[in-house]
Structure 1
Amino acid sequence: MNFFFPRLLLTAACALALGACTSIQLEPLPEGLTDQPPADWSERSERLKNLQSWELSGKLAVKQPSDSGTAIINHWIQERDAYDLELSSSFLGMGRTSLQGVPGFISLTLPDGETYRSGDPEALIAAATGWQLPLNSLVWWIRGLPGPDGDFRLLFNDENQLAMIRQEGWEIRYDRWQPFIAGYPALPARITAVKEDKRVRVVVVQWNETTDPAR
C-alpha cells in the first residue's frame, strides 16, 4: 500500500499549510479553513490531554531524500511520559525494533538484541535507522494537539475538525478522524507531517485506552 501523496498533492498541502504558522499571517485563509477554533475546542482539547495512557497499532511511513520506508507499528504503549514503541520493517534491515523512553532519554533495541541508549532520542533513531522522527512532539500530534513547547497555529475545516497544526517547522495535516475510544472525542486515524523535504505519515488501525498505573 502506498502511503505517500503524489508530488502535486504534497505541493498543495505545503502551500495550504503556510497559513498555519504563528509568525506568518496569510490572508485570505485557504478556502474552507479557518484559524478560529470551534466553540467546543477548549473542552475537546482538554479531554484529549487527559488521554495519557493508551495502546495503538498501525503503520508508519517515512520519506526523505536519503531513503524512504514503511513499518508496522506493532504497538505504541504510552503511560503518561513513558512510551514503548515496537516497529517491524524490512527497511534497512530493521526487523523488529523496540524503543522505550521518556522525554530526554531513549533505549533502542535492534533485532539482534543489541541495545543503544541516548539522551537525544531523535539523534539515536536517525543514527540507527536513518529516519528523522519528531518523537517528543508526536505524542501530542498523534492525539490532535499541539506540543506544549514552541509557537504553533491551528487551522480548522468547515466540519469544525482540526485540519492542520504548524509547529517546530513541521506541518501536521489531519487527513482522517475516527471515534476510536468511547467517552473521548474522535482521534486522528491518519496524519501526515511534513518538514522541508521530509515526510512522516502515521495510520492508526486500532487505539485503546489503558489503565494508568499512577491512578
Structure 2
Amino acid sequence: MTERPYHRPLTPGDRFFEGIESGRADPLRVAEAADRAAYLLVRGAHDSDDGEIADRVLHLADTEGIETIAEAWAGRPADTIAGCLWRLYLLRSWVYADPLGVAREFEAGRARAAVDSVVSGVADPPGPDELRDMVDQVLRGIAAGDFADVLLRAAAFARVVATGRAELPDSDTLAAARIQSVADQLDRAARLELAGRLP
C-alpha cells in the first residue's frame, strides 16, 4: 500500500485534517530548519517591538509562500512550536476556504461543547465574517500576545466545531474526530507552553 500524498493546507474540504495523520518522514535537516523558522516566528516575533509583525505573521499563508515551510511543519510533532503552527494555519486556511460550513458547524456545537465562549472568542451569532475575524484575531496573538492563549483559544474553537460537525444530520464522524484530535493536540501544547516546556 502506498503512502497517502501530502495535502497542502489550502486544499478545500475535509482533506484539511488528513495531513495530521500523514506520518511523513522528513530528513533531519529539514526538520531542524522547520523548527528554527517556527521558533523565530513565535519567540522572535513576540519579543519584537515592530507593530507590523502581527499582521505579517497572520498573512504569511496568503502572501509569503508559507506553504513551503508548512510542508516541513506538517511532519513535526504536535508538541512542538512547528507542529502547533501547522495546526493553527490549517485551521485558518480551513475557515477561509469554507466559512459558511464552519459557521454552521460552530453554531451546532457551541451549545454542547464544554468550552468557555470567551475562550473560543466568536461573536454572537457566529457568521462567516465573524469566524474569519476570530481566527485572524487568534493568530495575531502569535506575534502580539501569549502563545499559550493562542493555542487554548484555537483548541476551544476546534472543539466546538468538531462537536457541531458530529451533531449535524449529515455528519462526517471521521472528519469530526480529526478536528477533535487537532483540538486535543493544541490543548496539550498549550499546557506545555504554560509550563515552559514547549520546544
- Do these two structures clear the TM 0.5 threshold for a shared fold by scoring above it? no
Give the structure with the larger strand fraction.
Answer: 1
